[in-house]
Structure 1
């Protein structure tokens, strides 16, 4: 993953909340690049990253596993 710019955090939509209160948010930019952000319990960004198109499926599979194992 490549670090995402914090300005894109506000565009991301929450998709799940982990057991520890961390929110997982995702966003796809106009170029179709998938981003994922983590927010603390107060909705402050703690991580942001994106993957190239070739890795989008792997990111989605990882998100599915995270949902299963940590929510």
Structure 2
């Protein structure tokens, strides 16, 4: 979902391993330019699992890189 307050697309939930995971926190964010394309990288959590995602602003597609359990 696009957040006009921050001017970026913000993930709200992810479907992984047959389950819906509602994002409770964005732990980190950075944008990188590759020529004319901007790739937005996120580290997000649902409280139990951490997800490393990216969003391609040209193709409007998401990519999941990694899933890890939350360590307290």
- TM tier, smaller: 0.3 to 0.5
Identify the structure with the greater strand proportion.
2
TM-score for the superposition, normalised by structure 2: 0.44
- CA radius of gyration, larger in: 2
Greater relative contact order structure (CA < 8 Å, 6+ sep): 1
Superposition TM-score, scaled by structure 1 size: 0.45
